[in-house]
Each structure stands twice: as C-alpha cells, then as structure tokens.
Amino acid sequence: MIPAVSQVQALPAVSGMPGAFLWVTASFLGACLGSFGNVLVYRLPRNISVVRPRSHCPACGAPVAWYDNVPVLGWLLLRGRCRRCRAAIPARYPVVEAAGAACLAAGFLRFGWSVQGLAGGLLLLILLLIAIIDWEHMIIPHTLTLAGVVIGLGASPAAPPGPRAALLGILAGAGIVLAVSYGYKLVRGRPGMGGGDVMMMGMLGAFVGPWGVPAVLFAGSLAGTLYAVLWGSRKDDGAAKLPFGTFLAVAGAAVYFYGGEILSWYLNLF
Ligand SMILES: [Zn+2]
C-alpha cells in the first residue's frame, strides 16, 4: 500500500517534455477514454457489442461524425443536441468525458509521471465506470474488471504493490468475497454477492495488494452501510439490495490513492 521508492518507475517517454504539454496530452487522452467509457456505460449492461455499430443518435439513428465526437467540445458546439434531429444528448456524455480527463490527470498528479501514475489514472476511470453501471443496473461487467486485472498486473513490475503482492492481492480479494458469498448463501439460502463483486475485489487486490484488501472491504462495507442507514436500500424481490460495487469503487480509489495516509491517520487515533 505504501509505495516503496525502488518500485516506482518513471515513464520513459516523458523525460524532457514540457509540463504543460504532458498535462494537455494526458487530459486529452483521458477525455477520449471517457468518451469510450460512455459507450461502455451504455452498451456493457445491455450486452451490445462495444465496437459495432458505430456511435449513432438513439433518436434518429444518424451516425456521429468524428468532429461531433470530439470529447466535451463536440457536445458544447452542438449545444447538447443531435446535428440531424435536434434530439437532446444527455449532459452525462460530456461530464463523463471531462471526468475521464480528470481521472488520468489525478493519477499523474498523485504519483508523478510514472507507471503508477498511469495505472492509478486508468484504475480511477475503470472504477468510475463500474460505479455508474452498478448504480444504475446492479451489474459489474467482467469486461471492466478483467481490463483492470490486466492493467494492475501489467503495471506491477514497475509500480506498487509489486508483482508478487499483486498476484496475492487478486487471490485474497476474490477469495475473501467468494468465501463470504458462499457462507452467506449457506446461512440465508440466497446469494449475497455475485460474480461481479468477486471479480471486482480481485481487480482491486491487484492494485492494493493482499494487505489493502481488508481495508477496501471494510471501507466499502462502511460506506454502503452508512448509505443504507441514511437513505435506505432498494427492495428487490423482498431482499434489500445495494449497489455494492459503487461503494467498493469509492473505497478502492481511496485506499489506492491515500491508503498510507488513511492508515497512519487511523493508527494515530489510538
Ligand atoms: Zn438524431
């Protein structure tokens, strides 16, 4: 959780580049990823292919031209309406694009121009997409969690927690949720958590390592419980349901970005 300096590796491509150029490039890339994220948020829970058909207006079917698809700017220039039929384009599209830019920038801001900065930014964006999808559909798509596992494992030789801890983290994260869900089913006769939760904790384990897993689970459960107490949980077939993935997303981001700080603050309480 606490980065060991020897494991933090700078991105080779950025040395000598002016800072402003790097921030603009990272933000633009993040906005483009956010734009693709909009496609994922709409299509993954509906089981529509994410590559075909090309983006089109849901009202009139007109394909979106590349110049109208430029992140944030396209929506602003169209003033939020389809070029052909003038149907409203939800403000969520530019918001998620801007959030994509913010996610990537946040990774580099927190961890520098390093492999960890890139991995952290991508993790943040994946968590944002999972949070939205789980909130709206109670689904955590395997496509997103698998992408996260690949990024976490891929970055681990050059970023905390390191390759060994990343592997152990995946096993710990998925294993604990699997065990809890199995135990819950034995006691209550119905599944408490699904395969999506198992995969998501496995993914987070790749980033926070085995020792970060209990922290994420604790913080996620705490956030979910607080939400249920304050605003109540949704009823579905008589059973209370919470989009646990949304709370795990917030907890995972907090632990990956500020785990060390949170831990020392917590220990200082005693
Ligand atoms: Zn249209």
Q: How far is the CA of 172 from the centre of ligand 1 (A)?
A: 47
Q: Where among 113, 132, 150 does a domain terminate?
A: 113
191 shares a domain with 66: no
- What one-character DSSP code corresponds to residue 59? T
Contact 57, 82 (CB under 8 A): yes
Residue 4 included in any domain: no
258 shares a domain with 167: yes
181 shares a domain with 267: yes
Average confidence score pLDDT of the chain: 91
Task: Name the phi and psi angles at 18, rounded to 5.
Answer: -65, 145
145 shares a domain with 109: no
Residue 12 has pLDDT above 80, yes or no: no
Residue 172 included in any domain: yes
Q: How far is the CA of 218 from the centre of ligand 1 (A)?
A: 45
Residue 246 has pLDDT above 70, yes or no: yes
Q: List strand residue ranges (DSSP E) for 184-266, in order.
A: 234-236, 239-241
The residues, any chain, with a CB within 8 Å of residue 261's CB and separated by 6 or more, are none
Q: How far is the CA of 68 from the centre of ligand 1 (A)?
A: 12
Q: How far is the CA of 53 from the centre of ligand 1 (A)?
A: 15
Q: How far apart are the first and last CA of the chain?
A: 21
Q: How far is the CA of 93 from the centre of ligand 1 (A)?
A: 15
Range of the domain at 78: 18-113
- Tens-place pLDDT, residues 54-81: 889 989 999 999 999 999 999 999 999 9
Q: What percent of the chain has pLDDT over 90?
A: 74
In this prediction, residues 26-49 reach a mean pLDDT of 95
Tell me how long the chain is: 270
For residue 1, what pLDDT is reported? Answer: 47
Residue 29 included in any domain: yes
Q: How far is the CA of 54 from the centre of ligand 1 (A)?
A: 14
248 shares a domain with 177: yes
Dist CA 184 CA 106 (whole Å)? 37
User: What is the token pair recorded at 161?
Assistant: 């927690």
Q: How far is the CA of 63 from the centre of ligand 1 (A)?
A: 8
Q: At 241, is the pLDDT very low, low, confident or very high (cuts 50, 70, 90)?
A: confident
Q: How far is the CA of 209 from the centre of ligand 1 (A)?
A: 46
CA atoms within 13 A on the CB side of 164: 1
Dist CA 133 CA 54 (whole Å)? 21
Q: How far is the CA of 44 from the centre of ligand 1 (A)?
A: 22
- Tens-place pLDDT, residues 81-118: 999 999 999 999 999 999 999 999 999 999 999 999 99
Dist CA 19 CA 150 (whole Å)? 28
Q: What is the dihedral of CA 205, 209, 213, 215, to 10 degrees?
A: -130
- Tens-place pLDDT, residues 120-146: 999 999 999 999 999 999 999 999 999
Q: How far is the CA of 107 from the centre of ligand 1 (A)?
A: 36
CA atoms within 13 A on the CB side of 83: 13
Helix axes 19-43 and 92-111, enclosed angle (nearest 10):
130
For residue 269, what pLDDT is reported? Answer: 86
267 shares a domain with 170: yes
Residue 242 has pLDDT above 90, yes or no: no
CB atoms inside a 10 Å sphere around CB 156? 24
86 shares a domain with 45: yes
Q: In this structure, which amino acid lies at residue 205? A: G
Residue 190 has pLDDT above 50, yes or no: yes
Q: How far is the CA of 64 from the centre of ligand 1 (A)?
A: 9
Q: How far is the CA of 244 from the centre of ligand 1 (A)?
A: 35
Residue 125 included in any domain: no
Which of 14-23, 50-59, 184-193, 249-258 is most confident? 249-258
In this prediction, residues 222-249 reach a mean pLDDT of 82
